C-alpha cells in the first residue's frame, strides 16, 4: 500500500465509498463505543484492503488487512439490534453502512446493527498502522475465501 487510507464523509455518497472500503471489516463489540458527552461514535476495525486486492495475482503476493479508526461526529444517540453490549469479545463482520439525513446504520452479518441518530453526516475513516499480509480474501458467494469471523 502506498499511503494509509484517510477519508472524510459528509453525505450519503461519501458514506457509500467508506462503506465499500470497510466491507468485511472485523470488529469486537467492545471496540464500538458511543461517547455521549462528546456526541461521538468511534470504532477500531480490522479492515480488508480491497483497494490492493486486485493487485494480488499469485501466491507470491498476499492480500492485506489493517487496523483503522472510524469516527462519527454529531451523534445524538445510538440504538442496537442483535448485539449484547456485555459480550465485548464477540467479533462482528461489517457488511455495509447505510445513511440518511438523520441516521447512520452500521449493518453486520447475522442481523446485528448499530443505528446512530445524527444531526449531520460527519465521518472520518483513517488507517492507524501499517497493513499486514493475509492469505484470505473475503467471499460472499460461497467460494473459498476468508474464514468466518469466529474461526480460529
Average pLDDT of 58-67? 79
**Nearest CA among 131, 146, 125, 143 for reference residue 5:** 125
Average pLDDT of 131-148? 68
Asked whether the beta carbons of 126 and 8 are under 8 A apart, the reply is no
pLDDT in tens, 12-28: 999 999 999 999 999 99
CA angle, 94 as apex, 111 and 32 as ends, to 5°? Answer: 95
**Cell numbers given for 104:** 447512520
Task: Measure the CA–CA gap between 60 and 121, rounded to whole angstroms.
Answer: 41
pLDDT in tens, 104-125: 999 999 999 999 999 999 999 9
Domain boundaries of the chain, sorted by first residue: 6-130
Task: Measure the CA–CA gap between 126 and 33, rounded to whole angstroms.
Answer: 16
**Nearest CA among 70, 66, 49 for reference residue 123:** 70
Supply the pTM of this predicted model: 0.85
Amino acid at each position: 500500500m502506498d499511503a494509509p487510507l484517510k477519508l472524510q464523509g459528509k453525505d450519503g455518497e461519501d458514506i457509500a465509498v467508506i462503506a465499500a472500503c470497510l466491507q468485511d471489516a472485523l470488529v469486537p463489540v467492545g471496540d464500538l463505543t458511543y461517547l455521549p458527552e462528546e456526541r461521538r461514535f468511534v470504532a477500531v476495525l480490522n479492515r480488508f484492503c480491497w483497494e490492493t486486492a486486485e493487485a494480488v495475482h499469485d501466491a507470491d503476493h498476499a492480500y492485506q488487512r489493517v487496523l483503522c479508526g472510524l469516527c462519527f461526529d454529531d451523534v445524538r444517540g445510538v440504538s442496537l439490534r442483535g448485539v449484547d453490549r456485555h459480550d465485548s469479545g464477540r467479533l462482528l463482520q461489517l457488511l455495509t453502512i447505510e445513511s440518511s439525513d438523520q441516521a447512520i446504520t452500521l449493518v453486520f452479518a447475522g442481523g446485528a446493527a448499530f443505528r446512530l441518530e445524527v444531526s449531520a453526516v460527519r465521518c472520518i475513516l483513517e488507517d492507524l498502522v501499517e497493513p499486514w499480509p493475509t492469505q484470505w480474501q473475503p467471499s460472499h458467494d460461497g467460494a473459498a475465501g476468508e474464514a468466518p469471523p469466529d474461526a480460529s
